[in-house]
Structure 1
Amino acid sequence: MIDALRNKKGILLKQHDRLHAKVIVGGRRALVGSANLSGNGLNLEGNEMSGWEEAGLVTTDPKQIGAIKEWFTMIWKSSRAITDAEVEDARCKWKERRATRVKNDPPNSRSGFLLKELGSEELADRPIYLTIYRDWISDEAKRACRMYEEELTGQQTSKSAKLPPMYENWPELPKEAQLIDLYYGPRGALRCYGVFTRTHDIKFTYLAGSKGHLAVCRRDDKIMGCLFGVKESQRFAEDLRPCIEKIWNSDLAVGDDGGKFIRLADVAEMLG
């Protein structure tokens, strides 16, 4: 919005580093309130704004309008021009905040994650991906992970010790993103093992001499502020069953016949 207004004739824009008030003033009317002129302050857009309570006061009192204009003149004089670098910085920060917004549920809602309830608008800009695979982690990859943890902690790990979630030879897997893990068997079996976030990488060498890569993850219990446990995992797999072949063969999916990943927003569109 700011970038567009800066290029319009007859419009002057400035910024004030300590200004938080929302005021619109004209010749005969003024508005003072808490609401931003856009959803940016809440990192929300469009219908995502529904349910938020704001307050505003409209006045036509000439004395009040005069006082507001005097206040605005004082603020304007102490403000400065907006630079291109600041606009670009704000754009980057907005993108980051959009990615972390929670699902727009009623207050105190504890509903679990349900993909069918989400539209493309609510999933847009979110770093959430579906990982689909048919190949399991190799024994050599598990050994490499144990060796890495032993070097890191200085303690020997048992072969029966539980390893963290990880993906073998998926170096292009998105970082700083949530990954919904789904096994898709060659006979059509579907099982969702939860949601993970990639934390670090391990490079290793196979016994045959080729190079290997592990994208190691942590397990999360929520997506978009919604619970994602065992029940939600089962329901998620069942919701995808009718169109899993379409998702697996989609041009939007990145990977090979062993495993692929695709944006959850694209998956939701396929579900309709």
Structure 2
Amino acid sequence: MLSGDRLMQFLDGAAATAEIKRLVMSSKTVRMAVAFWGKGASEELGLMSKKNDVTVICNLNSGGTNPNEIEYLLGNKISVRQCSTLHGKVYLFDNCVIVGSSNASANGLALQGKEISGWSEANILTNDPVLWQAASQWFSALITDEITSDDLKNAELAFSKRRASALPQVTASGSLAKALRARPEIFESKRIFVGVYGSLLTTADMRRVKIEQNKHRSDRSIDAVRWHVPTGANLILFYVNKNSVEFHGFWERNENEWKSDSLPPLYFMHKISKIYGFSSTGILSSWRNAVAEFYKNEVRGSKLDAKHIEFGSFYQKYISKTKILNVMDDHKRLRAIESGFFESGFWRRPELDCDIIRVFTDNEEKSCRGGRIVKIREEIRGGEKIKIFTFEDDPSQHGKPRPKFRQNGCVATFE
């Protein structure tokens, strides 16, 4: 609403984002007292273009602010301070102010990739000089503290716990991979990583692990890794050697570590049975294939022979493209090539290229066997070209529910 040169305008979350970004670009100075900050907010709002002209106050202690975003702001020389009692959301510019409910987060600003179902936000933009002056004085009167490395470390733990309680339990009886495929937005900013390593801890390292276990009444669920994993993060761990990929369980990084002048530090963690309610990764065959590809592309040859990657990024780059083929073998042509490997042939169809194969036979209680494809060859039989798949038998594939097969006995599915 306009009254002369006076402006009073209502903004929802999306409108607030656009208006804040415009005002950041056009203002000489920017001050933001906004309680909670989420991943990507500073980039989305254009703060990197201002830097020296921006002052931010946040609430770092309550668990509602992503400490990685604050660390990113500080690393880019933006002035950031904390106020443990702050709950307001005030965006101050040269001659106007936005006051309302929108935090600098996925939900508050309607950013892409929302963490959970978005809230309905309400804000007011005004250039009324009386209101602007009152907001400016309120901003200056806030009691704030500088942000230390210990503050960021504590914020990581608080943020992790709050995210865990806020995560919707989407098909918790299913797998992480299926949940991510169905609802990728709920995993945004959740510190879940896939960790892959190709070198075991040394004898000296294991002695340090033993000492740490003894501090906790010989707790054998405690172990360690050589590469830095954020405190409080969850880790889906795999070990890769020359012949296989081994799943080493779910872990949570604790705050303890051991440092040496001559060796990389050890970062301690403890084993957990579930990550956000999920006790299964999904089909291990497809994970092993994806982990092997990740190791080959991004880990092999690195200094520590180890690396972790965000779960969502790993899924998009390596798992989501894994194709699982279900095959009906009425004539039980499935035969063992050597211990642990099986071979099956069927008519050639171009769309049936896949990573994982499952072979079903009739009239057997546990008719399904399957696993990761290790070899494909073509043969001509009866004047027809067929593909022969050799696969590594995976017990996790045994006895799977039989799908409804299309004509010619084959159907391609994805997991």
**Counterpart residue number, 1:180:** 236
CA distance 1:198–1:180, shift in 2 (3 Å) = farther
**Counterpart residue number, 1:216:** 268
CA distance 1:188–1:121, shift in 2 (3 Å) = same
More strand by share: 2
- Superposed displacement of residue 181, structure 1: 1.1
**Equivalent residues in 2 for 1:102-117, closer than 5 Å:** 109=170, 111=172, 113-117=175-179
- Superposed displacement of residue 258, structure 1: 7.7
**Counterpart residue number, 1:62:** none
Distance 1:13 1:204 in 2: 43
Q: Are 2:314 and 1:267 equivalent residues in the alignment? A: yes
The question of whether the paired residues in 1 share the 8 Å contact of 2:107 and 2:117 is answered with no
**Counterpart residue number, 1:227:** 277
Deviation sequence 1:14-73 (CA, Å, 0-9, x none): 759977489xxxxxxxxx98x527645669842426634537699xxxxxxxxxx89957
Q: Are 2:117 and 1:51 equivalent residues in the alignment? A: yes
CA distance 1:103–1:135, shift in 2 (3 Å) = same
Which residue identity is paired with 1:266? S
Distance 1:14 1:257 in 2: 41
**Counterpart residue number, 2:96:** none
The question of whether the paired residues in 1 share the 8 Å contact of 2:33 and 2:88 is answered with no
The question of whether the paired residues in 2 share the 8 Å contact of 1:39 and 1:45 is answered with yes
Which residue identity is paired with 1:175? P
Distance 1:109 1:116 in 2: 9
- Superposed displacement of residue 123, structure 1: 5.2
**Counterpart residue number, 1:131:** 195
**Counterpart residue number, 1:28:** none
Distance 1:262 1:148 in 2: 23
**Counterpart residue number, 2:61:** none
- Superposed displacement of residue 109, structure 1: 4.8
The question of whether the paired residues in 1 share the 8 Å contact of 2:115 and 2:189 is answered with no
- Superposed displacement of residue 248, structure 1: 0.8
The question of whether the paired residues in 1 share the 8 Å contact of 2:103 and 2:109 is answered with no
- Superposed displacement of residue 249, structure 1: 1.2
The question of whether the paired residues in 2 share the 8 Å contact of 1:181 and 1:195 is answered with yes
CA distance 1:70–1:257, shift in 2 (3 Å) = closer
The question of whether the paired residues in 1 share the 8 Å contact of 2:167 and 2:186 is answered with no
SS in 2 for 1:227: coil
The question of whether the paired residues in 2 share the 8 Å contact of 1:134 and 1:185 is answered with yes
CA distance 1:246–1:44, shift in 2 (3 Å) = farther
Identity percentage of aligned residues: 12
SS in 2 for 1:199: strand
- Superposed displacement of residue 121, structure 1: 6.1
More helix by share: 1
- Superposed displacement of residue 247, structure 1: 0.6
CA distance 1:248–1:214, shift in 2 (3 Å) = same
CA distance 1:97–1:46, shift in 2 (3 Å) = farther
Distance 2:308 2:175 in 1: 18
Q: Which has the larger radius of gyration?
A: 2
Distance 1:78 1:117 in 2: 47
**Equivalent residues in 2 for 1:230-241, closer than 5 Å:** 232-233=280-281, 235=282, 237-241=284-288
Q: Where do 5+ consecutive residues of structure 1 fail to align?
A: 23-31, 59-68
Paired residues, what number? Answer: 231
The structure whose RCO (Cα within 8 Å, separation 6+) is larger is 1
Identify the range of structure 1 (140-149 vs 9-18) with the bigger mean alpha-carbon deviation: 9-18
CA RMSD of aligned residues (A): 5.4
Q: Are 2:255 and 1:199 equivalent residues in the alignment? A: yes
The question of whether the paired residues in 2 share the 8 Å contact of 1:182 and 1:191 is answered with yes
Distance 2:31 2:268 in 1: 47
Distance 2:188 2:178 in 1: 15
The question of whether the paired residues in 1 share the 8 Å contact of 2:193 and 2:234 is answered with yes
CA distance 1:117–1:47, shift in 2 (3 Å) = same
Q: Are 2:249 and 1:249 equivalent residues in the alignment? A: no
Length-normalised TM-score, structure 1: 0.55
The question of whether the paired residues in 2 share the 8 Å contact of 1:192 and 1:236 is answered with no
Distance 2:31 2:104 in 1: 16
- Superposed displacement of residue 102, structure 1: 5.0
**Counterpart residue number, 1:29:** none
The question of whether the paired residues in 1 share the 8 Å contact of 2:222 and 2:270 is answered with yes
Q: Where do 5+ consecutive residues of structure 2 fail to align?
A: 1-16, 35-82, 91-98, 321-415
The question of whether the paired residues in 2 share the 8 Å contact of 1:190 and 1:237 is answered with no
- Superposed displacement of residue 8, structure 1: 0.9
Distance 2:33 2:303 in 1: 53
